[in-house]
A and B are shown apart, each in its own frame.
Chain A
Amino acid sequence: MSHSKRAEVFTRDIDRTTWHDETLWFVRKKRDLAAYALPEFQDLRELASQIKAHTLSQLSQYLTQFEEQAKQNGVQVHWAADAHEHNALVLEILQRHGATRIVKSKSMLTEECHLNPYLIKHGIDVIDTDLGERIVQLREEAPSHLVLPAIHLKKEDVGDTFHLHLGTEKGEKDPQRLTAAARKHLREKFVAGEVAISGVNFAIAETGSVVVCTNEGNADLGVNIANVHIACMGMEKLIPRLSDLSVFTRLLARSATGQPVTTYTSHFTKPAPGKELHIVIVDNGRSRQLGRPDFRNSLKCIRCGACMNTCPVYRRSGGHSYDFTVPGPIGAILSPNIDMRKHASLPFASTLCGSCTDVCPVKIDIHTQLYKWRQVLAAENELPASKKWSMKFLGRLLASPAMYRFGGKAARKGLRLLPHGLTHAPGYNPWAIARELPEPPKQSFREWFQQQEDPA
């Protein structure tokens, strides 16, 4: 199903669509306040972009350096070429420890690899501990936003879910009390967790450390209680130096939610005495993306979500309409690399207004890449027939002045004579589903111009 078809489902609830739009715009405004309060914000974006560009240009060296340092720190480093290998590696570690109850903090990578269903299939009880992720897990849904996984839900929805699964009172919709119920429920899970899985925000080549940023403290609580910590990272998370973190920690939370920094910025370098720390480095298409010069820069992404908060299409279509782990503009340039056919409609889910590029803290040229993916998709014959043939037809028409003039005349006349039901038929004219066509002018500009007297 295409993005527009799924978006149609989301937008059927007009009030909710408006609420979703306004809520994300509110987050965008908080981002602006935080960004403008920092005189060097634009400098930092440029630095972050350059540090990432450098790292990607030397990625194999930094990966090797990171591995070497981490091993010296007593960390066990694993490599996974794809999602399946990643999942199998994680399962193997769990089975080696006889673990059946695990807690997991936010990791878009494990979402990308569909780790949860894989583990559950193998008899592992996996609990997502980020509040938003726990909510969508209980509802058997996917997160709809990078940073705000349950942003598509209203508090009443959460209340219903918690009533069903956590036994809160029916009709309870107070965020404070709902969060308290989740805290109690998840404390039990934390305390019982045998192995904890976390994502990784940044990996430091020079020290072999991984850095995890959260507001809730769920990552630290989980991994510091469990005997085994498995940190799963896409290989683009690397940065060269510990001091580079200063740039990224100043940008990440400001861009994501407008906070000056996340509540917890945790640096894991060595396992605690008697415990184990595993790091799984995952490729899953990233080396392929690195080899596409037009799309390479998408690997700079630090998953702040600013591009989706600002995107007029995302705000009004919801994260689930993208049907990809990472929704929004950044997801629309990452997803075709993973499965071009499945995600062929996503690069078209954009007005190319460029707002995503303007707010990106690492200066990814998102809207340019969206445009370039469209060219690739057309060349690969991945456009729907209606779009392909209408574009071909329009190309011919616009290339011929005579046909263009005739076409204009026919359209002006036709629109006046044809019945409204036909000119606005959703099957022929999806543009007019929620809009009125303007009244056709009596003549074209050219015709009018020719009637004017020569001013000279």
Chain B
Amino acid sequence: MSSSRDAILAAVRASQPDELPLPTVPLYGGDASVERFTEVLRSIGGEIMRLPDHAAIPAVIQQLFPVLGPLASTLLPATVAVAADTPVATLDAVDVAVLQGEFGVAENGAVWVPETNMLHRALPFITQHLILVLEEKQLVATMHEAYARLPSPDGYGVFIAGPSKTADIEQSLVIGAHGARSLVVLLIAG
């Protein structure tokens, strides 16, 4: 379909005006505190717990999910092995996924999760419950600082802010639309 390509580009070239300047986007600054991140994440339906170190994670999982279904994780001993070629039926049965987040954004409660931390691209969405582990010092104030941290977007990467939600029926907020029904961020001190 190269003919369409060239025709489209020619039409655009003929229509576009003289060049207008591209502005520089300032960083703005802002509040990157744990308190701010916590407040915002809770306001969008997420939960957050502060832990002294990674060793405390298994006990917290036990506490959060006393009856635990299949667990997939890059950080803990998993009860279901997940890789890029895992069949969808196996993925669909995952109850809890515990994955590493790279950094969090205090202004909106989002956590950056690149493909390399996901085991399978569908895992953070198909799991019933998602737990993201994040180092406390990896908090930034705004999306400006967040993108300043991203040298490249990886093959695939997602900012995840809270659990899956919808308000498509009469604007009533319902948590757990298609993706994870709950999201807990485990913030590791240090």
CB within 8 Å of B: which residues of A? 23, 26-27, 40, 47, 50-51, 53-54, 56-60, 63-64, 73, 78-81, 85, 89, 129-132, 135, 148-151, 153-155, 158, 175-176, 178-180, 183, 186-187, 190-191, 204, 207, 209, 215-218, 220-221, 224-225, 235, 240, 242-247, 249-250, 257, 259-274, 281, 283, 287-288, 290-291, 293, 296
Contact = CB atoms under 8 A, between A and B. Distances in A.
A27 B171 CA distance: 9
Given A264-B159, A269-B156, A40 B7 contact: no
A235 B143 CA distance: 25
A217 B5 contact: no
A242 B150 contact: yes
Interface in B8-26: 8-9, 11-23, 25
B65 to A, nearest CB: 19
Interface stretch (B47-55, B95-103, B176-184): B176-184
Given A58-B16, A79-B4, A217-B125, A243 B148 contact: yes
Interface in B126-154: 126, 142-144, 146-148, 150, 152-154
A218 B152 contact: no
B166 A287 contact: no
Contacts of A240: 22
Contacts of A50: 20-23
A244 B25 CA distance: 7
Contacts of A23: 170-171
Which range contains the number of B residues in contact with the other chain? 35 or more
B169 A245 contact: no
Given A47-B25, A50-B21, A155-B169, A85 B164 contact: no
B25 A85 contact: no
A154 B180 CA distance: 26
Given A57-B18, A155-B169, 6 more contacts: A60-B12, A79-B1, A179-B176, A187-B178, A217-B177, A261-B105
B8 A287 contact: yes
A53 B23 CA distance: 10
B59 interface: no
B67 interface: no
Contacts of B152: 207, 242, 269
Contact of B153 (A183, A209, A272): A209
B4 A81 contact: yes
Contacts of B84: 272-274
B32 interface: no
Contacts of A130: 168
A131 to B, nearest CB: 4
Name the 6 nearest CB pairs between A and B, nearest first: A217-B179, A291-B15, A132-B168, A260-B108, A216-B177, A270-B155
Contact of A287 (B15, B148, B150, B168): B15
Contacts of A215: 164-167, 177
A155 B20 contact: no
B174 to A, nearest CB: 4
Contacts of B180: 217
13 contacts: A54-B21, A79-B8, A80-B1, A81-B7, A179-B174, A215-B166, A216-B178, A217-B178, A263-B164, A271-B155, A273-B84, A287-B8, A290-B16
A267 B102 CA distance: 15
Residue from B146, B170, B178 with most neighbouring chain A CB atoms (10 Å): B178
B169 A54 contact: no
B19 to A, nearest CB: 5
B122 A269 contact: no
A175 B143 contact: no
B166 A216 contact: yes
Given A23-B171, A135-B168, A250-B142, A51 B161 contact: no
